[in-house]
Structure 1
């Protein structure tokens, strides 16, 4: 057996393991679990951190204000130092559309050790506490919600006894680059954090036997959080410096004994466009190295792993055919086939054509470059940059006294 053939066999073995032993991450049937509407609807405060979001607010904020929720609910939009009139536009949209009460306020610049988003979230939660809500809905300013979104989230949390119910918003897929990159982004996220391992029981979420695992994640665009759980986990203070704040939030809640559920959304959509590759590149690279804990060894292992799993299969096919090594070509082709097959459900979820599935190695190569670029920007002092702010890695953040 040649080295190339051995590596091809290793790649196929990795894909068979991913197919069968990684929580069936590739399935897209993990949706809101079975739920019953409560006899008395709990109160909810919606917290929306927003920084320079005037371009997307007209397509998102009215959907929040129009929520068909039987209980008491109100919206707090926290204007995080916007320079495009975000706060004023939010007030105008509320006057024009009516619906749930809206409070618009600004917390000022975040102190050292806080990301801007989490400082805004803290301000919103502080305001919400005066209303004594049972739940907090943390949602981004670019997320549009179906009219029954809030009642579905609250019903699912109450029925399943969850402290966090989070939905991965359906991202926009209209431009060529969005079609190539966006479904893969959610696919890779599910591979890293298998939804069935996070939530356990509930419809489409497995038997719940893995609910005791440490796997925890949430999708920051839509997080329903029980107020009591937020207080026990000291949210957001305990995660104030987290760039990947949604995953940090879920880990903090689960670490305090809370129950977390995460799945794909129906009726929760991002309206933010990413028309160019540059836009998507910035979205991924700003936090990719933070996901690797700013560790060069983890980065090297990630690069090798991505190459073995995603790049070796097509390379084996072409090398095997060119060199007349039939076994190498067959092994590579089998791995490529399994890879494409696991990607098809996500493409169907995003209503994309099947022929994008064999192109996943190309997209994975782009993600590999984005990850390396994230590390390069970090060491140049420009890592985790977003909307005019650059954040230090956690071990460089001073602790509060």
Structure 2
């Protein structure tokens, strides 16, 4: 038993060494929008699209921050009232008049949700359709619960223009005030960055793509190139689906040339290896100027959405966790094994090593736990939480694992994807 446990702890340690050194430096928080600010040489036309379903309580803050952006170019806001029952549209009009910007706000009364669409994306589609009449250069897709820093849009546009990006997105600063928020919200950001290392997302030659739905600036031509919002109309994790579509649209063309006599095969358009033929060919890629995306963190723009209890955070994760696994039981099993090996084995090894008096297991488990804590600490510091919370990652990971299992159970019971009174089925079954 001791030999098996030592092997597991040693494997966990090796995984953490690999993650820290070879997994896109995901733990570093160096991809931030506010790090640099570049003067704009031109002023592109921007149309903001805000899907809003029963958001009257937050609009006096979120919509006000959007209408008062210091962006010197043309900015119009299209708020789509997604069949709200709390007078969202009336509150929005009141906010626009209160800040003296009624001419900049366009309220769209949402139509009934058609089959095959998620509610949010259907609202975004309607907003974009109306905003397109103004022939904007960019669409600014943002949520109704985001309080924007006054220069957020300016920085997004400057980033896109300076680096010729098709999509720029920031993960806004999530609310982290209650006990459960401090315990679980920084870990949400940490796990997201581990799943989608921002450096790899921002590398045009790397296939990983992601975005954060609260604040996305997308070039109009890029949206048209992927077939519009309709191309991802069923996506529940819509931000990452949009980023993936944009980045994939700019993939380099693959040209084949005769290979050396070493017998290498060739790759098809998806990167899958083909069986070598009598005349093997090697792929050579040519970089493309389109499809470039960027994702980073924001220290100033923040989410207003409160998560004051374990239940609210649990529901947020369980809503899409199984979707992230593509509704695959095998991926679910792999996730359970992986989470246990990476996060739970080190503290278990440490404790059992002490009990058994096996110092090899104890030391290895402690070292793996310390590496885990070291990786998590920058996120804890970013959210200004207690240093000691960095050591709680194993317990946090255990809770997230339970949430993922619950997400699968909800899906199998027909309750998956529940958001604001709507339950969305597995799109693979449609």
Q: Shared fold by TM > 0.5? A: yes
Residue of structure 1 in register with 2:56 after alignment: 54
Residue by residue, what CA displacement relative to the aligned partner does 1:280-339 show, whole Å, maximum 9, x if unpaired? Answer: 001110000000000000000001000000011111110110111111111110000000
Q: Does the 8 Å CA contact 1:316/1:328 hold for their aligned counterparts?
A: yes
- Displacement of 1:54 after TM fit? 1.5
- The reply on whether 1:236 has 2:236 as its aligned counterpart is no
Higher-Rg structure is: 2
1:235, 1:343 → 2: CA distance? 37
Q: Does the 8 Å CA contact 1:289/1:374 hold for their aligned counterparts?
A: yes
Map 1:151-230 → 2, pairs under 5 A: 151-200=154-203, 211-230=204-223
- Displacement of 1:34 after TM fit? 4.7
1:31, 1:58 → 2: CA distance? 27
Residue of structure 2 in register with 1:10 after alignment: 11
- For the aligned residue pairs, the C-alpha RMSD in angstroms reads 1.0
Residue of structure 2 in register with 1:390 after alignment: 423
* TM-score with structure 1 setting the length: 0.95
- Displacement of 1:394 after TM fit? 1.5
Residue of structure 2 in register with 1:31 after alignment: 32
Provide runs of 4+ in structure 1 moved above 6 Å. none
Runs of 5+ consecutive residues of structure 2 not aligned to the other structure = 251-290
Residue of structure 2 in register with 1:88 after alignment: 90
Q: Secondary structure at the match of 2:156?
A: helix
Runs of 5+ consecutive residues of structure 1 not aligned to the other structure = 201-210
Pick from 68, 72, 76: which aligns with 1:66?
68
Residue of structure 2 in register with 1:206 after alignment: none
Aligned length: 387
- The reply on whether 1:327 has 2:360 as its aligned counterpart is yes
Residue of structure 1 in register with 2:121 after alignment: 118
1:165, 1:350 → 2: CA distance? 22
- Displacement of 1:235 after TM fit? 2.5
- Displacement of 1:95 after TM fit? 1.0
- Displacement of 1:96 after TM fit? 1.1
2:221, 2:395 → 1: CA distance? 45
Q: Secondary structure at the match of 1:130?
A: helix
Residue of structure 2 in register with 1:346 after alignment: 379
* TM-score with structure 2 setting the length: 0.89
Residue by residue, what CA displacement relative to the aligned partner does 1:322-379 show, whole Å, maximum 9, x if unpaired? Answer: 1111111111100000000011100111111111000011110010000000000000
